[in-house]
Structure formats: structure tokens, C-alpha cells
Amino acid sequence: MSQGLLLGSAGSQRHGVRGDTVKTVEAPPEMHELMEAIEAKYEEIFKTKLKFKPEESRIKLAGKNVMFIGLRAIAIDLKDELDSVLGEAGRNLLIYRLGQSFGRSEAERILPQMGLDELPARIAAGPIWAAYSGFARIRFLPGSVLEPNENYFLLYEYPNNFEAELWKKEGRTATEPLCYFNAGYSSGWCSVAAGLELEAEEILCEAKGDKACRFIMFPASRRMEYMERLDEFGNM
Ligand SMILES: [Zn+2]
């Protein structure tokens, strides 16, 4: 696997620059060319390898069976069901692990079809896939370190995150971040992409009034260290 990539540098714009042709992800300029190439690959897959076969009760995408699920099922209904059985802490943990399982599974299914060897490309393929899958837009923030080792660190935001958006649409409020599905999904994908055990933590959340849902992702072995720095990343 590749050498890494440090995103952004002194003087780079706070939220990166959206390219003229990169349409799915917001990222520092050094990632634009790479992302355009990945978008083109996904476009080709959806154009040529998506087959609806209702007579077989199947949808095939690149030969694999997929299904449509309404976003509300995860953002509201599943959470309410788990809340009633497990309480809030149990619900959050289970949703996180569910998202992580989905992210891992999708990365294991998609990445082999993409022919991407370099770590930055394998990581970037996740948020772009999330956009094509219809559930997340991701903004990479400067300061991320895309290296396949203990230095790995990702700082990223989800503008208009479906979990927070639907929660608010229900007239609900939150005092703590609640987007555990997306935190889990992103860490699951990136764990497979990087060959590392990674964890993600949401530090700002639109559901509790923050301007975006912001996450950090780090090696699981460094969790204690990063948990002590949450305010630092939240105030950047
Ligand atoms: Zn959130």
C-alpha cells in the first residue's frame, strides 16, 4: 500500500476548495484529480452495471445483490426501537456497530472492483461511494493524515447529515452528538481501506445546534489520547 498524504497546509482554506468537476465530496485541492477519477469509475458502474430484476425480487449492482432502505428507517425508526429495548447508551453503541459493519462490508465489496492501491484513493472512494449510495456528503478538513500506520488521522464533516437532518425534522432536539450510524460506517470503510482498526467519534452535531456534524477518526489503539483532545478539534 502507498505512502500517505497530509491534507492541507498552513494557509490552505478552512473547508478546502470544491473543484469545478468534483461533485460529491468537498476536499483540499490536492485530492481533486483523484476524486474526479473515482467519480468517473462509479458513474460507469452505475451506468452499466445496475440491473433491476423485480421478477426475481433482486437489484444487482456489479453482480451483487443490493436493496433500497429508506433513510428514516435508520435515522428514526430503528433508533426508537433500540431505545425502547436497550436505552440510549445501548442504542448508540448498537447503531455505531451496525454502521461499522455496513461500512466494512461495503468496502470489501466495492474496493476490489475499483483497482485502487494507494491509501488516499482507497479512503476517498468511501465518501464518494456514500454520495452515490444516497446517504452522505463528506467534507475532508485540512490536518488529516492519510498514512497506513498509527499516524492515521481523519478530520471530516458531514453537512446535511441525514441522521441529524431527519432527527430535527421530527421536531426532536439533542444535547449530545447522535450520528452513530455515519460514525460507524466511515470507520468501517476506512478500516478496510487502510488495513487498520480505526474508530470514529462525532464531536459536533447539527442535531444539537452545531453548524455541521464533525468527526475525527483515529487508530483504536490511540483512543484515550484522542478522547482527551475533543475540545481542540471541536473548536478548530
Ligand atoms: Zn450529527
Residue-wise pLDDT tens digits, 146-198 = 999 999 999 999 998 999 999 999 999 999 999 999 999 999 999 999 999 99
Span 33-42, pLDDT tens digits: 999 999 999 9
Ligand 1 centroid–CA 164 distance in Å is 5
Using the predicted structure, report yes or no on whether residue 10 has a pLDDT greater than 80: no
Mean pLDDT of the chain: 92
Measured N-to-C along each axis, helices 180-194 and 162-169 cross at an angle, to the nearest 10 degrees, of 170
Ligand 1 centroid–CA 213 distance in Å is 4
Using the predicted structure, report yes or no on whether residue 57 has a pLDDT greater than 70: yes
Ligand 1 centroid–CA 204 distance in Å is 7
Angle at Cα 71 formed by Cα 188 and Cα 96, nearest 5°? 30
Grid-cell match 451496525, residue found: 98
Using the predicted structure, report yes or no on whether residue 43 has a pLDDT greater than 90: yes
Sign of the CA dihedral with 137 first, then 150, 42, and 99 last: negative
27 Cβ neighbours under 8 A, 6+ residues apart: 7, 16, 35, 124, 139, 140
Q: φ and ψ at 159, to 5 degrees?
A: -75, 140
Using the predicted structure, report yes or no on whether residue 112 has a pLDDT greater than 90: yes
Cell numbers for 223, please give them: 483512543
Q: What pLDDT score does 19 carry?
A: 47
Average pLDDT over residues 78-92: 97
Q: What pLDDT score does 30 carry?
A: 86
Using the predicted structure, report yes or no on whether residue 11 has a pLDDT greater than 60: no
Ligand 1 centroid–CA 215 distance in Å is 9
Which residue would you say has higher pLDDT here, 4 or 75? 75
Ligand 1 centroid–CA 193 distance in Å is 23
Ligand 1 centroid–CA 147 distance in Å is 26
Average pLDDT over residues 2-13: 55
Which residue would you say has higher pLDDT here, 184 or 20? 184
CATH of domain 5-48+82-234: 3.30.1380
